């Protein structure tokens, strides 16, 4: 299902593997993506949106999938989060996009999630949002946050490594 | 309001960030649900929460939240403290419940980082 961008356009990219029910490090991928984008001088408000999108995506994969990957791409005009997982998939996407709809169990709620805000939050912070799911197979999600026209990728800054 | 004043008002213990007590914080957001924090809290605010697991710190980091005050006297895990140190996020712990914690700070002049969700939603749509 992946439709990754052409390599020539990419300033920076990363891929993270996640395992279902591995709650200990939930949020780590979001922190790492944030650090990488900071080092490239991406505007703070764009980074915050991407960090929220990555965080909620991470929680979704850990909570509902067997395994999955989250990729990010820094392109000249946008930052893209792309996630693919194998797992139970989403039966009714329209319903899952409604605030408050959730199938979470207690282990997810104990982390401070599982109140049916994940996908609505991802959509809210995205300038472009796409989700495809096959029940019983898995879910593909792509979210983009646009950069304003003035952005030029910086070389890595050591102090934020 | 400086972090040192927040500590005093809340009779709080500083678990991480003894060196950041001069930090100025003007607004706060109180919630246990991290998805709500991710949806509505703003950079630079104080996060007041009863959630004492590492996802509270990761959430604060995602949004550039200035500091976390854990209420209801929760015990923090070693992992929570380790991540807060690594991400340089000051952590206070108070025995007050969330209502008291928020109310005491509000009385001293701190305000919510947003006032109501409807306004927030409109401003974000612009």
A124–chain B Cβ distance below 8 A for any pair: yes
pLDDT, position A92: 94
Task: Render pLDDT for A85-115 as a digit per residue (tens, 0 to 9).
Answer: 999 999 999 999 999 999 999 999 999 999 9
CA dihedral angle for residue A61, residue B68, residue B63, residue B114, rounded to 10 degrees: 120
Name the residue of chain A whose CA is nearest to B86's CA.
A31
The sign of the dihedral angle between the CA atoms of A72, A160, B44, B87 is positive
ipTM of the complex: 0.91
pLDDT, position A154: 80
Helix residue spans in A65-135 (DSSP H): 93-96, 106-109, 118-125
Write out chain B residues lying below 8 Å of A117, CB-based. 33, 35-36, 38-39
Mean pLDDT, range B23-35, rounded to an integer: 97
Q: Do A111 and B55 touch (CB under 8 A)?
A: yes
A31–chain B Cβ distance below 8 A for any pair: yes
> Distance, in angstroms, between B25 CA and closest chain A CA?
18
Is residue B126 scored above 50 in pLDDT?
A: no
Q: Do B59 and A112 touch (CB under 8 A)?
A: yes
Q: Which CATH number fits domain A12-149: 3.30.565.10, 3.40.50.150, 3.40.1160.10, 3.30.420.40?
A: 3.30.565.10
What are the domain boundaries of chain A?
Answer: 12-149
Is residue B120 scored above 70 in pLDDT?
A: no
| Distance in angstroms (rounded) separating the CA atoms of residues A2 and A140 | 8
Task: Render pLDDT for A48-75 as a digit per residue (tens, 0 to 9).
Answer: 999 999 999 999 999 999 999 999 999 9
Per the CB < 8 A criterion, the answer to whether A130 and A83 are in contact is no
Write out chain B residues lying below 8 Å of A118, CB-based. 35
3-state helix, strand, coil in chain B (%, to 5): 45, 20, 40
Q: Regarding beta strands A78-87 and B27-30, do their DSSP bridges make them parallel or antiparallel, or are they unpaired? A: unpaired
Nearest of A50, A55, A58, A73 to residue A19 by alpha carbon:
A58
Per the CB < 8 A criterion, the answer to whether B84 and B65 are in contact is no
Number of CB pairs, chain A paired with chain B, less than 8 A apart: 76
Write out chain A residues lying below 8 Å of B64, CB-based. 44, 48
Tokens of B81: 């403290």
Per the CB < 8 A criterion, the answer to whether A27 and B55 are in contact is yes
A79–chain B Cβ distance below 8 A for any pair: no
Write out chain A residues lying below 8 Å of B32, CB-based. 112
- Per the structure, how many domains does chain B have? 1
Name the residue of chain A whose CA is nearest to B57's CA.
A27
Q: Do B62 and A27 touch (CB under 8 A)?
A: yes
B32–chain A Cβ distance below 8 A for any pair: yes
Q: Do A34 and B55 touch (CB under 8 A)?
A: no
Distances (CA, A) of B93 to A74, B35, B70, B81, B104: 38, 22, 5, 12, 15
Which CATH number goes with the domain that contains B31? 3.40.1390.20
Task: Render pLDDT for B38-50 as a digit per residue (tens, 0 to 9).
Answer: 999 999 999 999 9
pLDDT, position A160: 46
DSSP structure string for B11-57: T-EEEE-GGGTT-B--EEEE-S-HHHHHHH--TTPEEEES--SHHHH
| Distance in angstroms (rounded) separating the CA atoms of residues A55 and A31 | 8
DSSP classification of residue A42: -
pLDDT, position B122: 52
């Amino acid at each position: 299902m992946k439709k990754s961008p052409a390599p020539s356009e990419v300033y920076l990219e990363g891929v993270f593997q996640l395992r279902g029910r591995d709650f200990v490090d939930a949020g780590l991928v979001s922190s790492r993506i944030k650090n990488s984008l900071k080092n490239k001088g991406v505007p703070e408000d764009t980074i915050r949106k991407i960090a929220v999108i990555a965080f909620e995506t991470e929680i979704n994969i850990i909570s509902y999938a067997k395994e999955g990957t989250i990729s990010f791409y820094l392109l000249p005009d946008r930052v893209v989060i792309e996630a693919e997982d194998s797992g139970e998939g989403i039966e009714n996407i329209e319903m899952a996009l409604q605030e408050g709809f959730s199938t979470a169990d207690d282990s997810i709620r104990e982390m401070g999630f599982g109140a049916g805000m994940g996908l609505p939050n991802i959509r809210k912070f995205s300038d472009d949002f796409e989700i495809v799911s096959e029940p019983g197979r898995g879910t593909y999600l792509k979210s983009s946050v646009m950069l304003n026209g003035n952005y030029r990728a910086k070389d890595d800054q050591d102090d934020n490594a | 309001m400086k972090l040192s004043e927040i500590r005093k008002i809340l009779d709080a213990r500083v678990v991480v960030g003894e060196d950041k007590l001069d930090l100025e914080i003007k607004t706060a957001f109180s919630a246990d649900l991290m998805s709500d924090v991710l949806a509505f809290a703003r950079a630079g605010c104080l996060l007041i929460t009863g959630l004492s697991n590492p996802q509270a710190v990761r959430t604060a980091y995602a949004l550039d939240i200035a500091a976390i005050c854990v209420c209801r006297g929760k015990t923090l895990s070693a992992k929570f403290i380790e991540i807060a140190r690594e991400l340089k996020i000051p952590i206070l712990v108070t025995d007050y419940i969330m209502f008291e914690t928020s109310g005491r700070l509000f009385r001293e002049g701190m305000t919510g980082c947003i006032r109501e969700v409807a306004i927030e939603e409109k401003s974000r749509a612009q």
